Amino acid sequence: MRFSKDTFSPGQLTSNENRLTVDLKINIEKINDFLCNTEDLIVTKINRSSEKVTILYLDTMVKKDLLYSYVIDPLLNNDSTDLNSLSKMEINKSSRISIIGKRLVDGYCVILKENCTEGFMIEVPDSQGRSINEPNTEQNINGAHDGFIESMSTNIQLLRKRVRNTDFKVEYFTVGKMTNTKVAMVYIDSLANRILVGEIKKRISSIQIDQLQSTGNLEELIEDNPYSPFPQVLNTERPDRATSYLLDGKIALIVDGSPMVSIVPITFFSFYQAPDDYNHRWLIGSFFRIIRVFSFIIAISLPAIYIAIVTFHSEVLPIGILYSIRVSLEFVPFLPLIEAIAMQIILELLKEASIRLPSPIAQTIGIVGGLVIGTAVVEAHLVSNTMIVVIGFTAIASFVAPINEMGTSARLLGFPTMIAASIFGFFGIILSLMLIFMHLSKLQSFGIPYFSPIAPFKKEDLKDTFIRLPFWKLNTRPTDAKPKKLIQQGMSRVWKKNDH
Partner 1 sequence: MKKIFLIYLCVVLIFLSGCWDQSLLVTKTLINGVSFDITEKSELVGAARILNIESKGGGQFELKDEMIETKSKYSSEVGPEINFKMPGKIDVSKAHVILIGEELGKQGIHPFLEIFYRPKDAYVTSRVVMTKGNAAEILSVEPQKSPIAFEILRALKSSESLTNIPKETVFSAWSKIVDSGVDLMLPYVENVGNDRVAIGGVYLFHNDKYTGFSIPKEKSTLLLLLSDGLQKEGLVAVNLKRNRSTAFRVMDEKRKMELVIDKAHRKITCKMNLELDVNLVSYSNNFIEKTNVNKLNKDIATLLTKEAKEITNILLEANCDAFGIGRKLASSHPDIWKKLDWEKDYKNVQFEPKVKVNITKTGTVF
Partner 2 sequence: MITKKTSITKFQLFFFLIQSQVGIGLLSLPNVVQATAKGDGWISTILAGVIVQFMLIIYWLLFKHFPNDNYTKITIKIFGKYVGKFLNFIIYLYFILTGSLALILYINCINLWLLPLTPMWVLSLFIILSSIYLAHSELTIIARFFVIASFMLVLLILLSFLTYDLEKEFQNILPIGDSGMKNILMGSNKSIISMLGFEGMLLIYPFILNKEKGVLKSASFANLTVTALYTYFLFLCLISFSPNQLKQVREPVLYLFKALSYEMLDRIDLIFIASWIVPMTTSIIAFLFFASKSISKDKSYKKTVLLNAIIIYLISIYPFDESMITKFSTYVTYLSYFVVFILPILLLTLTLFIKTLKRSENA
Among 282, 248, 154, 279, CA closest to 448 = 248
Q: Work out the angle at residue 258's Cα, subtended by the Cα atoms of residues 252 and 262, and round it to the nearest 5 degrees.
A: 25
229 Cβ contact list (under 8 Å, min separation 6): 409, 412, 413
In the complex, least distance from residue 388 CB atom to partner 1, rounded to whole angstroms: 13
Of the pair 311, 404, the CB lying nearest partner 1 is at 311
Minimum CB separation from partner 2 for residue 196, in Å? Answer: 15
The nearest distance, CB 442 to partner 2, in angstroms, is 5
Which region, judged by CB under 8 A, interacts with partner 1, from 103-111, 141-149, 309-317, 444-452? Answer: 309-317
Q: Which residue among 1, 319, 355, 487 contacts partner 1 (CB under 8 A)?
A: 319
Phi-psi region of 326 (alpha: psi -120 to 50; beta: other; left: phi over 0): alpha
Interaction between residue 438 and partner 2 (CB under 8 A):
yes
Interface region with partner 2, contact rule CB under 8 A, candidates 117-125, 129-137, 170-178, 420-428 = 420-428
Of 441-460, binders to partner 2 (CB under 8 A) are: 441-442, 449, 451, 454-457
Q: Which listed range, 1-9, 173-181, 418-426, 491-499, lies at the site for partner 1 (CB under 8 A)? A: 418-426
Give 3-state DSSP helix, strand, coil % of the chain, rounded to 5: 50, 15, 40
Distance CA 462, CA 81 (A): 68
Contact call for residue 426 and partner 2 (CB under 8 A): yes
Closest CB 457 distance from partner 2, rounded Å: 5
Amino acid at 426: F
Q: Among 47, 315, 495, 500, which residue interacts with partner 1 (rule: CB under 8 A)?
A: 315
Instruction: Kindly state the DSSP code that residue 450 receives in the 8-state scheme.
Output: T
Instruction: Decide whether 257 or 425 has the Cβ nearer to partner 1.
Output: 425
Question: Which range binds partner 2 by CB under 8 A, 16-24, 241-249, 370-378, 423-431?
Answer: 423-431
Q: Return the range that interacts with partner 1 (CB under 8 A); candidates 101-109, 189-197, 222-230, 330-338.
A: 330-338
Size of the site for partner 1 (CB under 8 A): 23
The answer to the question of residue 89 lying near partner 1 (CB under 8 A) is no
Give whichever of 143 and 425 is closer to partner 1, judged by the CB atom: 425
Name the DSSP class of 154: H
b/e code 301-338 from CB counts within 10 Å (16+ = b): bbbbbbbbbbebeeeeeeeeeeeebeebbeebebebbe
The C-alpha atoms of residue 106 and residue 109 are separated, in whole angstroms, by 9
Half-sphere CA count of 221, side-chain side, radius 13 A: 23
- Binder of partner 1 out of 143, 416, 425, 470 (CB under 8 A): 425
Q: Does 336 bind partner 1 (CB under 8 A)?
A: yes
Question: Rounded to the nearest whole angstrom, what is the least distance from the CB of residue 316 to partner 1 in the complex?
Answer: 9
Considering beta carbons, is residue 62 or 387 the nearer one to partner 1? 387
Task: Examine residue 378 and tell whether it contacts partner 1 (CB under 8 A).
Answer: yes
283 binds, among partner 1, partner 2, none (CB under 5 to 8 A by kind): none
Distance CA 224, CA 199 (A): 12
Dihedral, CA atoms, 445, 447, 451, 454, nearest 10 degrees? Answer: -160
Burial profile 111-147: b = 16 or more Cβ within 10 angstroms, e = fewer? bbbeebebbbbbbbeeeeeeebeebeebebeebbebb
Residue 422 binds partner 1 (CB under 8 A): yes
CB 168 within 8 A of CB 175: no
CA 370 to CA 94: how far, in whole Å? 64
Q: Closest Cα partner for 411 from 322, 313, 297, 487?
A: 297
| Contacting residue, 39, 315, 330, 499, with partner 2 by CB under 8 A | 315
For 174, other C-beta atoms within 10 Å of its C-beta total 14
Return residues touching partner 2 (CB under 8 A): 312-313, 315-318, 424-427, 429-431, 434-435, 437-439, 441-442, 449, 451, 454-457
Return residues touching partner 1 (CB under 8 A): 310-312, 314-315, 319, 322-323, 325-327, 329-332, 335-336, 378-379, 422-425
